[in-house]
Amino acid sequence: MSGESAISLDEAVDLTRTGDLWLFRGDSAADRTIRALTNAPVNHVGMAVVLDDLPPLMWHAELGKGLIDVWSGSHHRGVQLHDLRAAVLQWSGRYGQQPWLRQLDAEVTPEREAAVLTTIARLDGTPFPATAALAARWARGRLRRAASVEETYCAEVVAATYAAMGLLGSDRPTNYYDPGMFWSGDDLELLDGATLSAEIRVHPRPPHTPGR
């Protein structure tokens, strides 16, 4: 695993901007199954959305419904827009995942911000597929065959949003992508000169200080 650099969650939240990626790796059976099926070092990916004076948000898809979706104002499973800090703390604490941040180096123009909001309006609330359906969906994508829009998983959400922003081409369907494709070293090809930084390991909580 790369990502030797490490920062606190507070630092990461301050740094993150729209389009930055948040990647997660856990040890549950489902986490290991996803990584084994996709041969990926991580099992979850989300995208930061940071607009105007709103707190930083996390745009992703998951099975849980513990956090409020700030777009719909309700609790539901599937594609969701969460408070970023709360989402990272849930994934690192309740789900036992290690987070990393990858920063996007590209101009996020008003047109790209509008594309992000349009994608959120279109996909928010879309159900997350069961594990078997997810695997079949991804395998279909690797054959360059698009899947139905009735369900979607985390990497598809990021890929669809990047495509709407003009950062990914249309030659691959969104179900071609898995979380590991957003980890450095894979063949992710961004457009318009955009690049992603190396992974920055994020410590969700301050390290323990002896005597405190």
Give pLDDT tens digits for 17-32: 999 999 999 887 777 7
Give pLDDT tens digits for 119-172: 999 999 999 977 667 778 877 777 677 877 778 899 999 999 999 999 999 899
Q: Indicate whether 211 belongs to any domain.
A: no
Residue 109's pLDDT is 97
Q: Indicate whether 184 belongs to any domain.
A: yes
Q: Indicate whether 209 belongs to any domain.
A: no
Q: Indicate whether 103 belongs to any domain.
A: yes
Average pLDDT over residues 62-78: 95
Average pLDDT over residues 45-73: 95
Q: Indicate whether 212 belongs to any domain.
A: no
The CATH number linked to 12 is: 3.90.1720.10
Residue percentage of the chain with pLDDT more than 90: 69
Residue 153: φ, ψ to 5°: -115, 175
Q: Indicate whether 208 belongs to any domain.
A: no
Query: E strands within the chain?
Result: 6-8, 21-25, 44-49, 57-62, 78-83, 98-102, 104-105, 195-196, 200-203
Residue 100's pLDDT is 97
Q: Indicate whether 1 belongs to any domain.
A: no
Which residue bears the tokens 């990584």? 35
Q: Indicate whether 60 belongs to any domain.
A: yes
Which residue range forms the structural domain that includes residue 144?
Answer: 6-203
Indicate the number of domains in the chain.
Answer: 1
| Sequence-ordered list of residues with C-beta below 8 angstroms from that of 109, at least 6 positions apart, any chain | none
